[in-house]
Structure 1
């Protein structure tokens, strides 16, 4: 495939304005991918984003974007609660899809999309592709080789804090800087599990493999939030602790909470304990974990470097999402499947859905999905 893939962006919100559009309109990628269309329910925002980033077409609806004839693939960057229906419609049009996390809110929806995509020969990459990070691949190898002795337990997670309220695109008065954060605090699809704890879940399941059972405690700790003098009612759980069972008495605690993080250098970074020590972030027993091509003189290099994150992309926001999209582009152009699989994303979605059910019922939930772990 010689011509660049024509990519449409569904949603002109924070992730698109801060990450997707800045990365994907850089000159170094335009031989492989060109953003040709963007849509948003606030048409003026889609039009302003298109003008700022040199995108030819702007629409008010995703349906118009899907049928416009100007896109080969889409990245769905709308609120998570819309992902299933929008993904289903994109598949029906034969469009390849990158889903910003998470792909859906239920395992039934994710499974249906995977089956439909297979029937339509549509490729799906679903963020977050944490196992693309060389560090996490090396951690998995170290554990399999016995560097921790017998692994005993692990912990990972993330906190909402004020992150979304403080994003740069929400502080101004023009159409590209007054994006509201309300959906993050409302069902369906809001809350820190789908938005932030998803990173830790992908990391731990990527390193340790699929989980077998989950139980949880969950509730709403902050019932309303204030944003620029306006009150946002919060009708979704914002304080959840999940306990994952990997079998043979290996357990992991994953948190998605209103505030308070254990490790902050990278969202979702794990601590994994064993009989011979501990892996904490990028350290094994207090020493940096070595792996090929590790660069030590750039901040956060342990977490940022992925195959396409080079040059200017290293210093730009949301580089990991750009990497996931480029995984899809390579798959389309070179028929080279990504290790960022929809099946892995589906397993993580089942953990989240089952955790909420466990918290509601008080009954530990058995997990049914699985995925192929890295060798």
Structure 2
């Protein structure tokens, strides 16, 4: 087993790469060795901005023997292909969500990793942040008794008003279900365990959208996926949940409320790493704030947990197993919306263990 900081290459130098690189380059247990992109000039610019020594294409990054983990930040349609190429080069892979475009792609990635005894990880890692970790501790402590129901929703008018290249959000692998669903579904599974079956209704409000900012402002593009999804999720032996994912709502709403036998818990936005976390008892007339503790560092802590777990020989939390289960949930929801029937979920996963209370991303633990 290797020692010392874990070498990382980042593939995909788009908008989200800046958040990852700011954090990954600040973690002493990780060394970012390369930035790769189809656009070599963009890769070089991003690498310079963050003090990364090597830039180029994917093959350049994979050729570095010190690279142990590839962080795959490419567009959803490329997730599986980049993951497979990286695994075949002997690298562990941590990808942005969604895990893959469909179950067939996802299964190929899982099989390749298993055959090569390599690890898979996947965003979102927001469930490792202080807000949702504190929610997990609150539920396990019995603060609201036994969970019986969940109401979750994320609603907006979509990302085209602020994103300079929003078209991929409205192509297969996108839409509110595949773009925002991973945050909400991963949070729910991390709290309540795997889902057994789902049902859904889906709609599309408009056939076209318009880019609202950047150099392509005013460009009209097609909408190829449902933009409003209502889902019902059945957690065996636990709660049932309703979930709404919408790019059609003028009302901005981001909520997860867990109802228990002794009260209710209002969780923070699962696309964030902080609070607030609120609770109320059966006879309370208002919410009260629950103290939140843990890391508030943003995207990249899942990569760090993978790196540390790799050295320790322990399971990592933002795992490929968890991401594959969430991928099946989204696929089953989409299929249920088309067929108007309950769909079984055949994969399973284990709810990840909480992070230790003293887990500090900026403390050097690997020597």
Of 101, 106, 111, the residue aligned with 2:107 is 111
Aligned to 1:238: 227
Q: Deviations over 1:4-57 (max 9, x none)?
A: 32211111111103x01222233xx2x422222222222221122122222222
Does residue 147 (structure 1) correspond to residue 147 (structure 2)? The answer is no
Structure 1 partner of 2:51: 54
Alignment of 1:25 with 2:25, yes or no, is yes
Q: Aligned partners of 1:138, 1:37: CA distance in 2, in Å? A: 34
CA distance in 2, matches of 1:250, 1:332: 33
- Counterpart in the other structure of 1:72: 68
What corresponds to 1:175 in structure 2? none
Name the CA shift for 1:243/1:68 in 2 (closer, same or farther; >3 Å).
same
Task: Give 3-state SS (helix, strand or coil) of 2:150's partner.
Answer: strand
Tell me if structure 1 keeps the 8 A contact 2:160–2:210.
no
**Structure 1, residues 312-361: CA drift from partner, whole Å, max 9, x if none?**
xx4xxxx1x21111112212333333222211111111110001111111
> Structure 1: how far apart are the matches of 2:95 and 2:231?
24
Give the gaps of 5 or more residues in structure 2.
212-216, 268-276, 281-286, 354-367
Whole-angstrom CA distance in 1 between matches of 2:202 and 2:33: 42
Aligned residue among 147, 150, 168 for 1:183? 168
Aligned to 2:360: none
For 1:33-44, what aligned pairs fall within 5 Å after superposition? 33-44=30-41
1:209 is aligned to 193
Count residues with an aligned counterpart. 332
How far did residue 2 of structure 1 move? 4.2
Contact 2:156-2:251 within 8 A present in 1 as well? no
C-alpha separation in 1, matches of 2:314 and 2:170: 37
Deviations 1:200-243 (A, max 9, x none): 11111111111111011113223222221211222122211111
Report if aligned partners of 2:197, 2:345 keep a CA contact under 8 Å in 1. Answer: yes
Q: Secondary structure at the match of 1:270?
A: strand
Question: Which has a greater percent of helix?
Answer: 1
Does the alignment pair 1:258 with 2:247?
A: yes
Q: What residue is the counterpart of 1:348 in the other structure?
A: 326
Superimposed CA distance per residue, residues 261-287 of structure 1 (whole angstroms, 9 cap, x where no aligned partner) = 9885xx6x5101134321112111112
CA contact (8 A) 2:156 2:252 kept: no
TM-score by length of 1: 0.80
| Structure 2 counterpart of 1:278 | 264
Structure 1: any 5+ residue segments left out of the alignment?
171-179, 295-304
Secondary structure in 2 matching 1:369: coil
Aligned partner of 1:299 in structure 2 is none
Match of 2:10 in 1: 9
Deviations 1:64-94 (A, max 9, x none): 4323545222100011121111111111111
CA distance in 2, matches of 1:4, 1:214: 42
Runs (4+) of structure 1 exceeding 6 A deviation are none
Normalised by the length of structure 2, the TM-score is 0.82
For the residues of structure 2 that align with 1:137 and 1:5, how far apart are their CA atoms?
25
